Amino acid sequence: MIFARALRRILTHSARPHPASSVSRFITLSGGITTCIPDGDTTVESMVTRADEALYAAKARGRDRFFSFEMQLDTVEQLAL
């Protein structure tokens, strides 16, 4: 989450125009974060699926953020803490 916040901050400060976007005048970044303690049932596919689900949760929460189900937190909420 710390890396995601830093990456998002760098992109925000660069203020790169995105004239074709209906969401923002500037390029934004959303992502899904997942973590686990791997065991015999853990697969790459399950990790990618969980990160993809977290990405869609981030977009549903307003975009321009990262979200983690495990932490029940997104990068925007974390800034308020």
How many domains does one find in the chain?
A: 1
Q: What is the pLDDT of residue 56?
A: 93
CA-to-CA distance for 79 and 81, rounded, in angstroms? 6
Range of the domain at 76: 2-80
DSSP state letter for 25: S
pTM for this one? 0.75
pLDDT tens-digit readout, 51-75: 999 999 988 988 888 888 887 666 6
The residues near 78 (Cβ < 8 Å, ≥ 6 apart) are 1, 5
